[in-house]
Amino acid sequence: MTKDNMTVNKDDTICPLCQQQNQCGIAAEHACWCTKVKVPSELTQQVPASLKNNVCICQACIEKFNIDNAQPAK
């Protein structure tokens, strides 16, 4: 999905890329999974400007990006 055809959803529980629940628990008592994961800058560049640093990309989108962009073993 590209930024051009993406609906901007300002609900911080929704992943800005796939529009599914992001399962972010940053407001929870214990640290959220999102504080322990490195999100590639190439992936965050796909987030609409109005949502950057305001909503979490879900684990599924991060994992898919990492798999799709993995460097082959030498």
Give the pLDDT of residue 16: 93
Q: Does residue 35 carry a pLDDT above 70?
A: yes
Give the pLDDT of residue 2: 41
Task: Please state whether the predicted TM-score (pTM) of the whole model is above 0.85.
Answer: no
Instruction: For the beta carbon of residue 26, count every other beta carbon within 10 angstroms.
Output: 12
Residue 17, C-beta contacts closer than 8 angstroms, at least 6 positions apart: 1, 6, 43, 46, 47, 57, 58, 61
**Highest mean pLDDT: which range of 7-11, 46-50, 70-74:** 46-50
Work out the mean pLDDT of the chain and round it to a whole number: 82
Q: Report d(CA 28, CA 73) in Å as an integer.
A: 38
How many whole angstroms from its chain centre is CA 66? 12
Alpha helices in the chain (DSSP H): 41-44, 59-68
> Tell me: the pLDDT tens digits for 36-50?
888 999 999 999 998
